[in-house]
Amino acid sequence: MKTLRLLAVSAAVLAALTSLSATARQAVTNEPIDYSAVQLEQQQQNGIAYLSGGIGLDESRAIQQTKGYNLHMTFSTGPSNEYVPDINVKIQSMQGHELLTLNEVGPIVYVNLSPGKYVIVGTRNGLEQRSTVEVKGGAVRDLNLHWSDAA
């Protein structure tokens, strides 16, 4: 009987949490970040600053609170949009010049680019996703590259 009651209470709590808005859910999980689990370090290539990481909840939350990057990329896969790391990313000018080449990064990458239009090419398991983005002064541009395969 206790097990049945516990299951009913658990189901009610789960139903309540899933019915909350995204803001309310974030408040529920707005616990302090354990920075000992965070391994984020700004890097540069060709004068372009970037961060890559997001493995684990603490690191994911830490990178999402970072300021100073105007292109926020996430990489996901499958029907449940699970974060996926180990993506090869190229950022090119509209003329095709490679500006940034990153190997095995993610699932979150933040980049600080000059205003302009760029082609983003992400490769995972030999499958390519392309997107054109425009970065404008002062605005943050969010981009999710998604692979529908479960590989």
Q: Pull the structure tokens for residue 8.
A: 């009913």
- pLDDT at position 4: 32
Contact 75, 122 (CB under 8 A): yes
* The residue to which tokens 């990057």 are assigned: 69
Cα distance between residue 64 and residue 58, in whole Å:
10
| pTM, rounded to two decimals | 0.77
- pLDDT at position 29: 54
Class of domain 39-147: mainly beta
Cα distance between residue 124 and residue 7, in whole Å:
40
Exposed/middle/buried for 85, CB within 10 Å: 0-12, 13-18, 19+?
middle
Name the band, by pLDDT with cuts 50, 70 and 90, for residue 11.
very low
Omega cis (within 30) before 107: yes
pLDDT tens by residue, 35-83: 776 778 889 999 999 999 988 888 888 899 899 999 999 999 999 999 9
